[in-house]
Amino acid sequence: MSTPEKPKGPASYFPSIEKKYGQPIAHWLALLQSCKDMKHMELVAWLKSEHGMGHGHANAIVAHWMASHK
């Protein structure tokens, strides 16, 4: 029996982000869609200031979102 592979990269933060902030990752990705003209660090700063997210969690969500919207 094989063990499911653990997520790597930014996705490895997703379980703790969902637990800490009480919203699914899809919620945060949808919010970023409304700010699609902002740069990476602007999005990180926005998640931190407007939603009280820590830097590492905000950076992980933004990195994942930007990689999937190239």
Distance CA 67, CA 34 (A): 16
Q: pLDDT tens-digit profile of 2-35?
A: 566 778 888 899 999 999 999 999 999 999 999 9
Phi-psi region of 53 (alpha: psi -120 to 50; beta: other; left: phi over 0): beta
pLDDT of residue 4: 66
- Nearest Cα to Cα of residue 43 among 16, 26, 64, 22: 64
User: pTM for the whole thing?
Assistant: 0.86
Helix (H) or strand (E) holding 2: none
